[in-house]
A and B are shown apart, each in its own frame.
Chain A
Amino acid sequence: MNTPFNFRLTKFPNEAEILRHEVREFLSDALKDVPKETRAETWYGADENFSRKVGQQGWIGLNWPKEHGGAGRSSMERYVILEEMLTAGAPVGAHWISDRQSGPLIIRYGTEKHQKELLPGILKGESYFCIGMSEPDSGSDLAALRTKAEKKGDIYLVNGTKLWTSGAHRCQYMIALFRTSQEEDRHGGFSQFIVDLSLPGVTIRPIIDLAGRHHFNEVIFEDVEVPQDMLIGTEGNGWNQVTAELALERSGPERYLSSYMLLQELVNEFSNKNDDEGVTEIGRQMSHLTTLRQMSVSVAGMLDQGENPALEASVVKDLGAVFEQELPNIAHRLMGLEPDSKGTDFQRYLAILTQISPSFSLRGGTREILRGIIARGLGLR
């Protein structure tokens, strides 16, 4: 009898716990003027000054090899930085993607030129990347994407539209997946490119979300001439490169801590109440949080060992989204207060998280796609 999962427990090394205290100290100063609703947004919130300060600390690219300017420290130490930032409500959104996956992708597949030119800016917290995957007719069905990059001499001519591109309006670069040829295999013929978003023919249009915020964008490419040396990795191998990123993208602490501030505020609210139902519910949520954290840390440990825990990462993301999506509803049930962006701390957290929570099970792979991956891991498809 075997389960298809391999979640072995991983403990943080001592140096990670030392780092944890440094991060807490840094944040208590760096965040003292950050407003509540920005804190509730965690990695949806972006502040370039804050990102630069994190870069100065040497905390971006912490686990990258030293030859690429990183600190050469473990993924476990990086994990500590992430979870401390998220639970403090730090506005990490500007550099989040570059630190998490664009930098590692450039280290893994990039040329020396890419690495020399692009990594230093990421490490300083000054150079930001977005991910160009979804398109108007290609959401969960990524392989249906149509944006074309045609090779013409020493450039690729790019035409098409990327959609739901988070943070594109404050990024200098996009790592984009384009179609470079038509192949019989529906996962063939894709290639990844590093696109300078200031190139002529690139138009970035805001898409305002239901909470009135400008977070994601439509990015239109009209005869954009991308130099051929900005193809990253191997032409035609884009699908494999993209799927290799997913374990990095799907298992981190941002996949279950999105509503953390609300849970902490509930603890605060119930500190002065004699309410068994509320207290028990808080305990229940603690048990979910504690367990999810151990699962996510376990995946980080496997990544640190060079394994590919893609299936486990999907499990973390699915369960994590259920948890963080449920918290605003639980908070409502226990408190019965209107979400109000001008109300008490609790009401302000509730206002923002209630509204953005639907995105938790959409971004980075929908619930249905993740469950499909898990079902495949179970041998059902």
Chain B
Amino acid sequence: MLNETSQLLSDSIEKIFSDHVTKDCIISAEKGEWPQSLWNEVIENGLNLVLVPENLGGVGGSWFDAGILFKAIGRYQAPIPLAENIVAGYLLGLGEVPFPENSIITLLDGELQLSNNKLSGVSHRTPFGNHSTHGVAIISDNNKSKLVLVPILDNSTSDDKNIALESRSNIEFKNVEVLHVIDVDFSSDLILKIGALMRSCQIAGGLESLLDQSVRYANERIQFGRPIAKFQAIQQELAVLATHVAASGVAADYASSSMDDGGDELAIASAKSRVDDAISICASIAHQVHGAIGFTYEHGLHFSTRRLWSWRAEYGSGSYWAKILGEKAVSNGANNFWPSITSGKI
């Protein structure tokens, strides 16, 4: 039971992705081609603006709404930077900056310096960097932070890719004039935290697709005269897969709705740690159930698993976030342990 905005967004993205994110679309993207018609559909429906406030021309949706879209990206393996653009729109909105038209924005990360409104430095392994027209960054210096929007100039991006063959460019900025600089009261850790939320949701969606594909395959594949789904050994494995998919979905939903409630780290850190554990189990079972065919490029299972294996290390691995949780737990002490779980605040 979703509210009206959530249901509309959910229907809209399901329609667009089921029409456009075909196997051919993903394969072309892996070869470096930009899926223009898919991106056009997403933009025409304003899905990149879900977290942009209404007074800036956006949808004014909730993080829970954004989470629905993040999960769909993972579920369909949509080869576009929609999640990154949604987050960029949110950050710009915090600085009252409207989303620049006809732009594709990525999230910058690295040793970046701002001097006289000019940005220098390298943003490392930037998602979809070589398809993006702009980047947002939070530059923290002497306990003061500035949010910047900067154009990405031609020939400044490398063509590095992750193992899912998604662009992860190094982008070099040499005294590039920024378009906006806004003083903000949050640090660059915010991008890390929101990035972890975004990837956790995408992973939860990707895991759903593993379950879906594995169940379908087990019902189709005949061995020993019957579908392998009829063997208890397979049923028990797929049940385990399903439990971790369910847990990941809940962890992701809890994280995105916690952002709507003020965004403490417990839910987001828990989500990234929890879905990371789920990937190890689920990818292994999905591949085992698929047998050799799932190990081929021809079969599409790897479009999910290669993404999951990449995404789990981005914006802090599960262990990174688990350590943060554990450090807070031990410094708060055993008597405050349970209250922190019930209040959602660590």
Contacts and interface: CB of A to CB of B under 8 A. Distances in A.
A109 interface: no
Nearest to A322: B243
Contacts of A3: 208, 211-212, 242, 245-246, 249
B131 interface: no
A379 B215 contact: yes
Interface in A1-53: 1, 3-5, 7-9, 20
A239 interface: no
A315 B249 CA distance: 13
B224 interface: no
Interface stretch (B39-47, B80-88, B173-181, B227-235): B227-235
A318 B219 contact: no
Interface stretch (A114-122, A195-203, A210-218, A268-276): A268-276
Contacts of B319: 280, 284
B109 interface: no
B337 interface: yes
Interface centre among B234, B249, B267, B329 (most CB of A within 10 A): B329
Interface string A239-271: 000000000000000000000100111011011
Contact of A283 (B232, B323, B342): B323
A372 B273 contact: no
A368 B239 CA distance: 10
B324 interface: yes
B329 A283 contact: yes
A68 interface: no
Interface in B209-261: 209, 211-212, 215, 218-219, 229-230, 232, 234-236, 238-240, 242-247, 249-251, 253-254, 257
B270 interface: yes
A4 B212 CA distance: 10
B273 A378 contact: no
A375 B238 contact: yes
Contacts of B211: 3, 378
Contacts of B334: 264-265, 267-268, 271
B243 A319 contact: yes
A9 B245 contact: no
A284 B246 CA distance: 18
B112 interface: no
A238 B331 CA distance: 52
B181 to A, nearest CB: 36
B318 interface: yes
A279 B323 contact: yes
Given A7-B253, A375-B238, 9 more contacts: A1-B209, A9-B254, A20-B342, A282-B325, A282-B329, A284-B318, A293-B341, A294-B251, A368-B236
Contacts of A270: 326, 330
B292 interface: no
B322 interface: yes
Nearest to B208: A3
A286 B328 CA distance: 11
Contacts of A278: 326
29 contacts: A3-B212, A3-B245, A4-B242, A5-B249, A8-B1, A267-B334, A279-B326, A280-B322, A283-B321, A283-B327, A284-B318, A286-B270, A287-B273, A287-B322, A288-B277, A290-B251, A291-B247, A291-B250, A293-B341, A318-B239, A370-B239, A371-B235, A371-B236, A371-B239, A372-B236, A375-B238, A375-B239, A378-B211, A380-B238
Nearest to B14: A1
A248 to B, nearest CB: 19
B274 interface: yes
Contact of A380 (B208, B234, B251): B234
Which of A4, A8, A279, A298 gathers the greatest number of chain B CB atoms within 10 Å? A279
B243 A1 contact: no
Of A284, A288, A312, A377, chain B has the most CB atoms within 10 Å of the CB of: A284
A4 B249 CA distance: 12
Nearest to B244: A319
A207 interface: no
A276 B319 CA distance: 10
Given A9-B257, A279-B330, A280-B326, A287 B246 contact: no
